[in-house]
Amino acid sequence: MATGAIIPLHAFRFQVDFFTDSLTDDDSHDQFQVCSGAFAECTGLEATMEPKSIREGGRNYGLAQRAGGTSFATVVLKRGISTNLNLYQIFNTLSTGTFAPRMQVTINVCDIDGTAVMAWQLDKAMPVKYKFTDLNARNSEIGIEELHLVHEGLWSVTSTVDQL
């Protein structure tokens, strides 16, 4: 292979790690891992900035454009498995109104050899939809059909795993 050649990444080779996250911006919160999971599909890694148009006196050719607020799409993880039921327990805690814990979610993307090469982090993520896999005696599928996460920040970060 030529030196400096770009090896394509396979989007279906990724691991998702879920950690506790604080609702405040200080560093006084001790972080621990809630669980890990592997999913077949991830959509919604998207941030949209709404520009602000400003009219300026004497500027007759177009409006001045300034940066506005940023919004984030709901991240949807499909067809996955998790190391435990902690994700559902957090969703259940949220849906019953008992407590509103937040998570820091890291999506690790791996190359053909399973080596983590990049990662995306969701800040203050909260599960808003949890769908189990349909139960069928003829299928051997287990796990999570869909997990929808809303969040307050999307970042490119260092991977939390070295190898799948």
DSSP conformation class of 115: B
Compute and round to an integer the Cα radius of gyration of the chain: 20
Q: How far apart are CA 71 and CA 48, in angstroms?
A: 5
Structural domains of the chain in order of their starting residue, each with its CATH number:
14-157 (2.30.110)
Verdict on whether the full-model pTM lies above 0.85: no
* Burial (CB count within 10 angstroms: exposed 0-12, middle 13-18, buried 19+), residue 119: buried
Is 109:158 a contact under the CB 8 Å cutoff? no
pLDDT exceeds cutoff 50 at 1: no
Is 19:31 a contact under the CB 8 Å cutoff? yes
Is 13:111 a contact under the CB 8 Å cutoff? yes
pLDDT in tens, 3-58: 555 555 555 578 899 998 876 666 666 778 888 888 888 899 999 999 999 988 88
pLDDT at 119: 92
Higher pLDDT, 139 or 59: 59
